[in-house]
Chains A and B, each alone.
Chain A
């Protein structure tokens, strides 16, 4: 199993450009989520999904859109990039069939720079 796969690994955008960060998992996990990681601030939840067709906002959703058309994929879209969105983005997934003992599995991140 590949686990959680994120592409691209690195991306540079100009202010106002749009792009989609891809995330795919092959563990048949219902739950998927996106975090951003900034220096000294830990990981902050952007959006999450408890299953195909269902998405919800996390702590810092502004400027980002998500969709969940399949169990495997959970893309994150930046419609008009801003320098404040320069960060490392992590996608994570977990099982939801058990209430406990279901830690998140993370991808290796996408490092995004907006100039």
Chain B
């Protein structure tokens, strides 16, 4: 389920299922988008990125989709594992600034 307000949106998935984390970005001038994963007590870690002239990019078990028409970004994680439990942030780059979204907490149920 999801919760909003001061609490992060939460996504719970069964181990082995696919996860989809969504993000709306705000500025049509942003030219580069990045997904980060943050585990408890650590700084965010880079997962995958995509340029604004692309609509899809795949990595190992992860895919990022970009829809510039509706300013929407998604992260798909295939065969979700317990180690994928973390907070996921999308970020957009506008010239020299990298601006982060509020994050989504992914919880993997063994």
Contacts and interface: CB of A to CB of B under 8 A. Distances in A.
Interface string B5-19: 111100000000000
Given A40-B8, A92-B43, A104 B98 contact: yes
Nearest to A57: B97
Interface residues of B, number: 25
Interface of A: 4, 31, 33, 35, 39-45, 48, 50, 56, 58-59, 90, 92, 100-101, 103-109
A24 to B, nearest CB: 14
Nearest to A96: B96
Contacts of A39: 6-7
Contacts, number: 61
Contact of B44 (A43, A48, A50, A58): A43
Contacts of A45: 97-100
Interface string B39-78: 0011111100101000000000000000000000000000
- For A42, A44, A58, which residue has the most chain B Cβ atoms within 10 angstroms? A42
A105 B34 CA distance: 12
B25 interface: no
A106 B43 contact: yes
B97 A43 contact: no
A108 B99 contact: no
29 contacts: A31-B96, A39-B6, A40-B7, A40-B8, A40-B102, A42-B101, A42-B102, A42-B103, A43-B44, A44-B100, A45-B98, A45-B99, A48-B96, A50-B96, A56-B96, A58-B97, A90-B44, A103-B36, A104-B44, A104-B91, A106-B43, A106-B44, A106-B45, A107-B43, A108-B42, A108-B43, A109-B41, A109-B42, A109-B43
